Structure 1
Amino acid sequence: MAVPRKGSYAEESAEVEVLFANMEKMQSLTKKIQGSLNRLDASGQTVKEALGPIYGNTQRLQVTDKNIDRVIEAIERLQAPRDQSNREERIIRAGPRNGDLRDYIASFDRSTETLAELKRSNLRANQQAISELSALVNLGTKQLEDVFRDLLRDESSRPVDPLEFVAKNNPFPLLTPESISTLRLIHRHITASIAQISNKEARESPTARIYAEIRGDHIMNSLRTLAAATLSTARKIAPDAIYKQGTNGIGMYAQALEGLIVAEYQSLSDIFPRDDWGPVLTSTCQAALSEFSKTLRDLNGHIQRNLMTDCFLGYEIVGIVSGLSLQLETKTGALKQTISESVKPIRETSKASLSKLLEDTRTRVQSLVALPTDGASVPVTTDTMTRLQTMTNYLSPLSSILVSLGPGGWNPSNGNSASTSFDVGVDGKGLFIDYAADTIDTLLQNLENKARSLLKGRPLQGVFLANNIAIIVRMIQSSDLQPLLPALDKKIGKWRKEASQMYVDAWREPSRHLLDVQYTNRSGRPHSGGGGVDSAAIVKALGSKEKDAIKEKFKNFNTSFDELIARHKTYKMEREVRSQFGREVQGILEPLYGRFWDKYHEIDKGKGKYVKYDKTTFGSTLASLA
């Protein structure tokens, strides 16, 4: 059994030896392959280093070859324009009027492009050609500008009467579509020519300058008559007449200016590119707006010379011109700032007028040397309220003016008078109510002071003050000031109460004679105010001295009452004042007299020697006061 096992081991050992022999051969072969790869890599690197410069030189030679081909092509292109320049020169020198304008423009464009290419070549050999072609392009540009100018002059030669369009509310005429088409074509090609020649865009094209010059003169000349009319309608016939809304020509002037500018904007927006609309419109309207500003300055001088009567013209102008600037901003997107600047002087004058009006009211009252002896109102009250009534026609511009002044800014003694800030939180209408209240307070305060110094007796002073208050209230109620009355009622009510007190105090004198002494320790005397007063019994119970005292009271009352009645009839009272005072006097005297008469009318046994008025007659007399 041991012999076979030994034989198998010998066989396996032989196989292992064969495997080891194969592995040694494989390792030897791998080393040889690796050595070959290393030698091949070194050879490749040597080849690369040798061929690199050759490849780079080949690329540069290819680029140089292409550049040479391009130079040859450029030279050929540069030679071609010089060959055809004679044909373009004949067309351009013949002028745009001797043929089809579009053919002329096409030739002009080709010349412009040729000139641009020659300039880009920067070859000394082309300098003469560049000089000649530049002169030719400049000639073409001038000729096209002349066509542009002539077209505009033909359009602008037609007279425009602004009143014809304003009165009928018709739009102002535009440039004709044919002219607009030609003008747009010329402008586009001239602008392109300038950009190509100079390699940059011109800040202002010659066509835009020509347009602004010719159309600007057209607008200004169309408005010249209205500018003159605006100044002439400001002249006063009656020096003291208050300006009436709409009588000045500024409204028509502003409407015409707006209509012409909007029409011009519509025309030029079809000629020039969008970015040029604002600048071209501004340049075109510059002359007309300068004339408009000059007219406003002249009007401002007139307003300053007639501030107390024509400040309302200033308010009207502020409203109209502010509306004009907003309309143009909406419709054209331009000119708002220019127009707003033009009205600034009048706006400043209008702001100053508010304090001047207050001062004028104060001065006019203080300068009075006499007051009506019957207590009638004075004209300064009516004039002051007329001013306030007139102001309601200009509430919109006045609100913006008052807001710019700030609360109380119209009062020089107020620290806000110099304020120019615009507080969006301030209510312009509320400020006008405050201004109206200050005006009324200033008027009545000075009237009261003047009455105390010039009128004798508080009753007459009270009548005078009450009459002026009645005029104030009546003029508020009968005008557009009426909605403001509730806000003013508290201040007016204070003055009305004071005037009433001054008048009624005089009637308290006779009422003192109707007071008697009650003897509570005497039995059998009926109490005053009882349901059934027996005057005969009361009088019979009086002693002789008491009876004489009652007679004296009736006598003194009659004298005092009759004097007051007579004096009352001499006063000039507004119907509201007479009614008010009559009711107040009746409310004071009638109850007192009725009680006194009930108790003591039997003092003269109906003879009327002491008891002049019975209750019915007394009541009728008091009722007649109202």
Structure 2
Amino acid sequence: MAVGVSNGRHAAEEEARAEVDVLNSRLEKTTQLTKKIQACLGRLEATGKSVRDVAGPLNGETKKLQILGHNIDSVISAIERLRQPADSKNDEEQVIRMGPDKAGLTNYLASIKRLTKALNDMKASNLRSTLQTVAELQRLVKSGNTQLENSFDKLLRSETPRAIEPLHFITKEKQFPILSQDNITRLGLMNSYITAVYRQNGPGGAQESPVAKIYAEIRSQYLASSLGNLAAASTNTAKKKNPDAIYRAGTSGIGTYAQAMEGLFLAEYENICNIFTREDWGPVLQATCQAALVELSRTLRELNNHIKTHVSTDCFLAYEIVEIVSALSNNLESRTGELKNSLAGSLKPIRETAKLSLAELLEDTRRRVMNLQSVPADGSPIPIVSETIQRLQSMVDFLRPISSIMISLGDGGWKSAAAARGGMADGIPSLSSFDIGADGKDIFAHYCTDTIDVLMGSLEARARPLLQQKKPVLGVFLANSVTIIERMVQDSDLAPLLDSRLQVLDQWRKKATTMYTETCKDLSVYLFDVIHTSRGQRPTSGQGAVDSASIMKGLSSKDKENIKAKFAAFNAGFDKMVNEHKAYSMEREVRQMFAKDMQYMIEPLYYRFWDRYHEIDKGKGKYVKYDKSAIAAIFLTLY
């Protein structure tokens, strides 16, 4: 058993020694292999260094060759691109020859853009070999642009009538016509391309596009022709059958003319906005409307000459034109931002005439009165009074333009024609023009009171010598005028403007009353007495009824004769005054006013005189013609 175990252990040890020997053998081989590898690596490193020394310069040359090859490829590519226009020139030329109508606008624009790009590329290459091709491309591009401009012209003319009748659109309340959407699109495409080309090639990029000129030329003729009849009608309707008739608002054709102009201009502006770029809207609109604006200026100058010849009756037309054209200017400026200066220039002559007319009307009133050859002997009013107030009433119908004119002229600027002209020299406004707090209505009210004062002053100055100092008649004449003026003011739109300013009439009314009651003062002298009686016989005022019989007993014969003479003179003067009062031509209010004044001045004095001395003829009526009730009844007949 022990021998068997020993043999087994020995076998195992032998086997282990054998495995160790195998591992040692392999380790030795590995060591030898490592040495060989190290030797190879050493040789390889030496070889790599040699390779690097040799390959470095070769690599640099290779890169240079690559760059050169790339450049050659680029040149070949550029040459190919330069050859393309020449190769495709015939195709593009065929499209250009067909024109935008046959080739189609989109296709035509694409073709001409390709030609333009090719032309620019060839110009940039600066190769002598392409000079002929450049010249041919330039010819094609120029021909294409010209055909495009011609197509724009033809298309625009095809849809632009020679003229339209604006009254049709105004009376039917229709919108004024604009170009069709399809044509607007085509015109816009052509304008966009042509404008870009001309601005790119123009000096500083600002060369004006020819299509803008084409558009303005064609459409300006259309606008001017459409407005021509209304311009003529504006001047024809201003010439009244009766030259002395006052112009009435709305009777001229200027309102319709301006309405048509506004409608046409706004429709044209819509076309322009749809065709042209934003920066072109204003200049194209100005150019397109120019011919119509020139005709407007000519028309307004003709109307202005007519107004200046008939200022007293047709100044109202000037006010109306100022309002209408100012409104036209404001409306167009708010919608387009344009044309204000042009319209202001056209309006300036008439606006100046309107300003001057205020002084001219005052002078005309004064002149007409002072040229009177006579005034009515019965004191009846004359037509110039009502005509002057009618003129002021008519001015209220034009209060808006007159207010602006008044503010521009300044309060009191109408005092004389010279002052009015001086305030407008060279169109430079006076300082009062800049009074932002000025109220045109208040200034106009002041003008009205000045007019009334000039009228009344002129009437008195002219009537006084013509009536040969007959104060009662002059008083009636002035009072009638005052009453007519006051009545016409109260019964018109002047009332709210002048209610607080009619003190000027009160002054003239008092003056007329003073003149008329001059006779009453003369009669009053007969009713004053200076009678010498004893102290016991003298009646005391306020102490009961007066005993006329007792007073008469205390008078001397001379005093009694004096009383009789006073009664007789009073009776004659009173009868004459009553007869003249009834004979005068008075307005109802004047007759009542004067009757009341006469009664107020005479009746109390006569009552006192009668109470004291009516027993002078013991009731026989020989001297005392009227008792108190009788004279009161006479006064009642005077109202």
Q: How does the TM-score come out when normalised to structure 1?
A: 0.86
Q: From 377, 380, 389, give the equivalent of 2:384.
A: 380
CA contact (8 A) 2:100 2:108 kept: yes
Per the alignment, residue 464 of structure 1 pairs with 477
Per the alignment, residue 426 of structure 1 pairs with 438
| Structural mapping, 1:116-515, within 5 Å | 116-157=120-161, 159-197=163-201, 201-412=205-416, 418-419=422-423, 420-421=429-430, 422-423=433-434, 424-456=436-468, 457-515=470-528
Structure 1 pair 237–328 and aligned structure 2 pair: CA distance change class (3 A): same
CA contact (8 A) 2:201 2:207 kept: no
CA contact (8 A) 2:356 2:421 kept: no
Pairing 1:619–2:623 present:
no
Structure 1 pair 121–401 and aligned structure 2 pair: CA distance change class (3 A): farther
Q: In structure 2, how many angstroms separate the alpha carbons of the residues matched to 1:121 and 1:172?
A: 54
Q: In structure 1, how many angstroms separate the alpha carbons of the residues matched to 2:355 and 2:101?
A: 59
CA-CA distance at 1:73 after TM superposition: 4.5
Aligned residue type for 2:449: A
Point out where structure 1 has 5 or more consecutive residues left out of the alignment: 1-56
Q: In structure 2, how many angstroms separate the alpha carbons of the residues matched to 1:165 and 1:314?
A: 27
CA contact (8 A) 1:366 1:446 kept: yes
Aligned residue type for 2:179: L
SS at match of 1:95: helix
Show CA shifts across 1:139-179 (max 9, x none).
Answer: 21222222222222222127521112222333212211111
Q: In structure 1, how many angstroms separate the alpha carbons of the residues matched to 2:602 and 2:64?
A: 129
Structure 1 pair 540–75 and aligned structure 2 pair: CA distance change class (3 A): farther
Q: In structure 2, how many angstroms separate the alpha carbons of the residues matched to 1:300 and 1:347?
A: 9
| Structural mapping, 1:13-28, within 5 Å | none
CA-CA distance at 1:236 after TM superposition: 2.5
CA-CA distance at 1:458 after TM superposition: 1.0
Show CA shifts across 1:205-258 (max 9, x none).
Answer: 121111111111111111111111111111231121111111110000000000
CA contact (8 A) 2:359 2:420 kept: no
CA contact (8 A) 1:314 1:346 kept: yes
Which 10-residue stretch deviates more, 529-538 or 312-321?
529-538
CA contact (8 A) 2:198 2:208 kept: no
Per the alignment, residue 26 of structure 2 pairs with none
Aligned residue type for 2:522: E
SS at match of 2:245: coil
CA-CA distance at 1:67 after TM superposition: 7.5
Structure 1 pair 438–236 and aligned structure 2 pair: CA distance change class (3 A): same
Structure 1 pair 58–297 and aligned structure 2 pair: CA distance change class (3 A): farther
Structure 1 pair 348–416 and aligned structure 2 pair: CA distance change class (3 A): closer
CA-CA distance at 1:199 after TM superposition: 8.4
% identical aligned pairs: 51
CA contact (8 A) 1:408 1:414 kept: no
Structure 1 pair 102–425 and aligned structure 2 pair: CA distance change class (3 A): same
SS at match of 2:375: coil
Show CA shifts across 1:264-308 (max 9, x none).
Answer: 111211111111111111111011111111111111111122222
CA-CA distance at 1:188 after TM superposition: 1.0
CA contact (8 A) 1:466 1:499 kept: yes
Q: In structure 1, how many angstroms separate the alpha carbons of the residues matched to 2:268 and 2:632?
A: 80
Q: In structure 2, how many angstroms separate the alpha carbons of the residues matched to 1:497 and 1:59?
A: 122
CA-CA distance at 1:592 after TM superposition: 1.3
Aligned residue type for 1:142: T
CA contact (8 A) 2:227 2:261 kept: yes
CA-CA distance at 1:127 after TM superposition: 2.6
Flag the structure with larger Rg. Answer: 2
Structure 1 pair 318–140 and aligned structure 2 pair: CA distance change class (3 A): same
CA-CA distance at 1:339 after TM superposition: 0.5
CA-CA distance at 1:376 after TM superposition: 1.3
Per the alignment, residue 119 of structure 2 pairs with 115
Which 10-residue stretch deviates more, 330-339 or 126-135?
126-135
Per the alignment, residue 13 of structure 2 pairs with none
Q: In structure 2, how many angstroms separate the alpha carbons of the residues matched to 1:91 and 1:164?
A: 44
SS at match of 2:274: coil
Q: In structure 2, how many angstroms separate the alpha carbons of the residues matched to 1:618 and 1:246?
A: 57
Which 10-residue stretch deviates more, 502-511 or 113-122?
113-122
CA contact (8 A) 2:162 2:221 kept: no
CA contact (8 A) 2:393 2:494 kept: yes
Q: In structure 2, how many angstroms separate the alpha carbons of the residues matched to 1:142 and 1:70?
A: 36
Per the alignment, residue 616 of structure 2 pairs with 603
CA contact (8 A) 1:116 1:196 kept: no
Q: In structure 1, how many angstroms separate the alpha carbons of the residues matched to 2:72 and 2:615?
A: 148
Point out where structure 2 has 5 or more consecutive residues left out of the alignment: 1-60, 424-428
CA contact (8 A) 1:554 1:610 kept: yes
Per the alignment, residue 102 of structure 1 pairs with 106
CA-CA distance at 1:616 after TM superposition: 1.8
CA contact (8 A) 2:235 2:302 kept: yes
Aligned residue type for 1:346: I
| Structural mapping, 1:585-596, within 5 Å | 585-596=598-609
CA contact (8 A) 2:262 2:332 kept: yes
SS at match of 1:452: helix
Structure 1 pair 58–426 and aligned structure 2 pair: CA distance change class (3 A): farther
Q: In structure 2, how many angstroms separate the alpha carbons of the residues matched to 1:62 and 1:536?
A: 160
Structure 1 pair 261–530 and aligned structure 2 pair: CA distance change class (3 A): farther
Per the alignment, residue 51 of structure 1 pairs with none
CA contact (8 A) 1:254 1:320 kept: yes
Show CA shifts across 1:448-490 (max 9, x none).
Answer: 1111111031111111111122222122122221122224311
Per the alignment, residue 569 of structure 1 pairs with 582
Q: In structure 1, how many angstroms separate the alpha carbons of the residues matched to 2:350 and 2:138?
A: 53
Aligned residue type for 1:489: L
Per the alignment, residue 15 of structure 2 pairs with none
CA contact (8 A) 2:374 2:466 kept: yes
Structure 1 pair 63–569 and aligned structure 2 pair: CA distance change class (3 A): farther
| Structural mapping, 1:535-550, within 5 Å | 535-550=548-563
Aligned residue type for 2:437: G
Q: In structure 1, how many angstroms separate the alpha carbons of the residues matched to 2:635 and 2:126?
A: 116
CA contact (8 A) 2:199 2:209 kept: no
Q: How does the TM-score come out when normalised to structure 2?
A: 0.84
Per the alignment, residue 555 of structure 1 pairs with 568
Aligned residue type for 2:527: L
